[in-house]
């Protein structure tokens, strides 16, 4: 196969060249950039292309073998493993790393300094949260369940088990099912009731807060003093939560008039009383059809407070580590033909640093 042109090493970086190349090839494999039926470039070809020592490339190939990413076929070369151990949720990892690098740069920390700093934290090695970890989500409407589930799964590699609040008593009685949940999640308004219904043998409950996007608040802040604002949504709870979030911003130039469903006579009455109506994307078409040219329609699908996501992530990591520590004698067998389990791959990566 051809050598991927985006493979690069930086001899000036404090990150060892061996580590740089290993991680880049893992990324190419995970992205499907190496066909399963084509051999990887030879050690000599890679070394020549990158202008590095062939011994370094040989060590990289050994690292990839131990990690379960490639297999050597005598007389044919080195090929990608049939089931390479893809790391959890590549899109989540990429977005998270980009955010971290940008935040570090804003604090005067270069990407190289950040990488070295992370690698230097040898004493902090929590077990990564596994794909498929289940959490319980409790809300009182299908619309809110769908919204929170979509947001949580966009940020964390978990599976969300959605339960309506009125169904929770019967669900909570199924102790075996409850034991699968790493945590329970709900909005602040339902927190006391969810904690009560789950009882003493429950998973820890985390309250999430969904807020209006800052862009919406900035646009509202630029409106003239006395601007009348309404909120419309197909789900009453969604409308009230969005209105509450806007109210919490404390914008002195607007007056909140109220909320309404995103259809029918109630929406028409609201539109006659406002200058601006805020609604989610799902209701935008119906609202625009009735709003006409005199009412400005702002689209806002809300976003989870990042601090709540961080709290949930920290809790899941802690509980995941507690479960691992409780099984010190349990070892996972190394698969003979498939990918290495993620935790084993992480340990192997740490070993080759």
- Partner residues linked to 227 by β-bridges: 254
Please tell me whether residues 173 and 319 are part of one structural domain: yes
Please tell me whether residues 113 and 189 are part of one structural domain: no
Please tell me whether residues 234 and 284 are part of one structural domain: yes
Q: How many residues does the chain have?
A: 353
Query: CA nearest 183: which of 194, 193, 174, 192?
Result: 194
pLDDT at 178 over 80: no
Please tell me whether residues 137 and 270 are part of one structural domain: no
Pairing relation of β-strands 303-304 and 210-211?
A: antiparallel
Please tell me whether residues 222 and 296 are part of one structural domain: yes
Rg (CA), the chain: 26
Q: What is the pLDDT of residue 220?
A: 95
Please tell me whether residues 201 and 259 are part of one structural domain: no
| Vertex 178: Cα angle to 174 and 184 (nearest 5) | 135
Check: CB of residue 294 under 8 Å from CB of residue 314. Answer: no
Check: CB of residue 270 under 8 Å from CB of residue 230. Answer: yes
Phi, psi of 130 (to 5 degrees): -80, 145
State the pLDDT confidence band at 227, using cuts at 50, 70 and 90.
very high
- Residue 144, domain CATH: 3.40.50.2300
Q: What is the pLDDT of residue 273?
A: 94
Region 29-54: mean pLDDT is 84
Q: What is the pLDDT of residues 273-320, one digit of tens each?
A: 999 999 988 888 889 989 988 899 999 988 887 788 888 888 888 776
Q: What is the pLDDT of residues 233-286, one digit of tens each?
A: 988 888 888 898 899 889 999 999 999 998 889 999 999 999 999 998 888 888
Q: Give the separation between CA 214 and CA 14, rounded to whole angstroms.
A: 38
Residue 128 lies in a domain: no
Query: CA nearest 285: which of 239, 241, 245, 234?
Result: 234
State the pLDDT confidence band at 347, using cuts at 50, 70 and 90.
very low
Q: Give the separation between CA 299 and CA 313, rounded to whole angstroms.
A: 29
Q: Give the separation between CA 18 and CA 351, rounded to whole angstroms.
A: 13
Residue 335 lies in a domain: no
Residue 74 lies in a domain: yes
Q: What is the pLDDT of residue 234?
A: 85
Please tell me whether residues 175 and 320 are part of one structural domain: yes
pLDDT at 340 over 50: no
Eight-state DSSP code of residue 331: -
Please tell me whether residues 227 and 249 are part of one structural domain: yes
| Vertex 263: Cα angle to 260 and 267 (nearest 5) | 45
Residue 112 lies in a domain: yes
Residue 237 lies in a domain: yes
Chain centre distance of CA 247: 28
Residue 290 lies in a domain: yes
Region 129-152: mean pLDDT is 82
| Structure token digits, residue 55 | 């011994």
Domain count, the chain: 4
- Residue 60, domain CATH: 1.10.10.10
The whole-model pTM stands at 0.55
Residue 219 lies in a domain: yes
For residue 64, CA distances in Å to 3, 21, 41, 241, 314 come to 16, 10, 14, 49, 30
Please tell me whether residues 94 and 230 are part of one structural domain: no
Please tell me whether residues 57 and 201 are part of one structural domain: no
257: helix, strand or coil: strand
- Residue 284, domain CATH: 3.40.50.980
Indicate the Cα dihedral angle 146, 152, 155, 157, nearest 10°: -100
Q: What is the pLDDT of residues 69-115, one digit of tens each?
A: 888 888 888 888 887 775 656 666 777 777 788 888 877 888 778 87
Please tell me whether residues 189 and 224 are part of one structural domain: no
Q: What is the pLDDT of residue 38?
A: 75
Please tell me whether residues 95 and 222 are part of one structural domain: no
Residue 36 lies in a domain: yes
Region 212-237: mean pLDDT is 92
Q: Give the separation between CA 78 and CA 41, rounded to whole angstroms.
A: 8
Q: What is the pLDDT of residue 345?
A: 36
**Surface-to-core class of residue 122, CB atoms within 10 Å of its CB (0-12 exposed, 13-18 middle, 19+ buried):** exposed
Check: CB of residue 260 under 8 Å from CB of residue 214. Answer: no
Q: Residue 43 is part of which domain span?
A: 17-83
């Amino acid at each position: 196969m051809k050598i991927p042109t985006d493979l690069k090493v930086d001899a000036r970086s404090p990150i060892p060249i061996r580590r740089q190349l290993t991680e880049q090839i893992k990324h190419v494999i995970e992205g499907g950039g190496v066909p399963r039926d084509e051999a990887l470039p030879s050690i000599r070809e890679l070394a020549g292309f990158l202008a590095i020592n062939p011994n370094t490339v040989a060590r990289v190939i050994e690292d990839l073998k131990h990690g379960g990413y490639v297999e050597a076929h005598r007389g044919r070369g080195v090929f990608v493993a049939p089931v390479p151990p893809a790391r959890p949720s590549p899109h989540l990892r990429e977005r998270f790393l980009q955010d971290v690098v940008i935040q570090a740069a804003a604090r005067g920390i270069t990407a190289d300094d950040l990488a070295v700093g992370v690698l230097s934290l040898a004493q902090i090695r929590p077990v990564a949260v596994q794909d498929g970890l289940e959490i319980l989500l409790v809300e009182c409407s299908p619309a809110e369940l769908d919204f929170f589930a979509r947001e949580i799964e966009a940020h964390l590699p978990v599976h969300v088990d959605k339960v309506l609040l009125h169904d929770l008593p019967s669900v909570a009685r199924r102790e075996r099912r409850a034991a699968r949940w790493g945590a329970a999640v709900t909005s602040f308004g339902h927190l006391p009731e969810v904690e009560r219904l789950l009882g003493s043998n429950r998973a820890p409950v985390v309250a999430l807060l969904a807020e209006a996007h800052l862009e919406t608040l900035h646009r509202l802040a630029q409106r003239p003093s006395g601007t009348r604002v309404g909120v419309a949504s197909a789900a009453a709870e969604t409308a009230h939560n969005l209105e509450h979030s806007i109210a919490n911003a404390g914008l002195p130039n607007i007056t909140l008039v109220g909320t309404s469903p995103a259809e029918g006579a109630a929406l028409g009455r609201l539109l006659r009383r406002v200058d601006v109506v805020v609604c989610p994307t799902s209701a935008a078409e119906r609202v625009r059809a009735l709003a006409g040219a005199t009412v400005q329609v702002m689209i806002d699908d809300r976003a989870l407070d990042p601090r709540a996501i961080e709290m949930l992530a920290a809790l899941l990591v802690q509980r995941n580590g507690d479960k691992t520590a409780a099984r010190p004698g349990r070892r996972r067998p190394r698969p003979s033909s498939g990918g290495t389990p993620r935790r084993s791959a992480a340990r192997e990566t740490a070993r080759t640093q």
